[in-house]
Amino acid sequence: GAGVSQTPSNKVTEKGKYVELRCDPISGHTALYWYRQSLGQGPEFLIYFQGTGAADDSGLPNDRFFAVRPEGSVSTLKIQRTERGDSAVYLCASSRTSGEEDEQFFGPGTRLTVL
Amino acid sequence: AQSVTQPDIHITVSEGASLELRCNYSYGATPYLFWYVQSPGQGLQLLLKYFSGDTLVQGIKGFEAEFKRSQSSFNLRKPSVHWSDAAEYFCAVVISGGYNKLIFGAGTRLAVHP
């Protein structure tokens, strides 16, 4: 079956603009995670959804970042008033359940560049 | 705070040589441990994982890793490297807390010489 997909694959925007990044998880996966990977670093946790609700948003850097998953499948990461420091690859992952032993399947990421 | 350290930023090996990538974690209890590989343009792929039991775990693509509690380490090994193994490798932990929040190391970039 299809894996996790993310759109767009690349996004270039100007400082101060608003962007939305989309994640389509594997069908039937209830848990969804967003990570951010800066150049030369490992992915850093941003937010975790179990179903429609954000169960842990402790990784969101500030209130410019927001994510939703209204129907418990597709998720959108929203960034307001983008800054150059937001430039990174944003990764989405899903797992069948939220259990620690359930494998997370990652999408290819969205590369965000803020000019 | 929990953390994962990968001491080697970049490693180069010759094709056919053995490989060991180091990973150390900082956590009071036994975490769940993972190794992921990231090839250019590809998503992260799980190589192997350790939860409990036998401390030597086998993964895909001929990789294995050994959990050593006394050293807080989970090093990744492969007896004979292939050119297609060139990629970035990430060690990660999940701190048991009811869900699968991964904490990653900074990664080790592997280059393979023919």
pLDDT digits (tens, 9 = 90+) for A56-103: 999 999 999 999 999 999 999 999 999 999 999 999 999 998 887 788
Task: Decide: A88 and A59 in contact? Cβ < 8 Å.
Answer: no
Nearest Cβ partner for B101 among A40, A56, A102:
A56
Pairing of strands B87-94, B45-50: unpaired
- CA–CA min distance B96, chain A (Å): 7
Residue A42 touches chain B, beta carbons under 8 Å: yes
CB-count exposure of residue A85 (10 Å: 0-12, 13-18, 19+): exposed
Nearest Cβ partner for B100 among A44, A100, A106:
A100
CB atoms B90 and A43 under 8 Å? yes
CB atoms B32 and A100 under 8 Å? yes
Q: Which of A56, A100, A110 to substitute to test the interface with B, most B CBs within 10 Å?
A: A100
Q: What are phi and psi of B72, to 5 degrees?
A: 50, 45
CB atoms A98 and B99 under 8 Å? yes
What is the mean pLDDT of the segment spanning B98-102?
A: 78
Residue A80 touches chain B, beta carbons under 8 Å: no
CB atoms A56 and B103 under 8 Å? no
Q: What is the pLDDT of residue B43?
A: 84
Residue B35 touches chain A, beta carbons under 8 Å: no
Categorize the per-residue pLDDT at B94 as very low, low, confident or very high, splitting at 50, 70 and 90: confident
Mean pLDDT score across all residues of chain A = 94
Q: What is the pLDDT of residue A27?
A: 95
Q: What is the pLDDT of residue B40?
A: 82
- Which run of H or E residues covers position B110? strand B108-113
Q: What is the pLDDT of residue B23?
A: 97
Residue entry with tokens 């179990």: A50
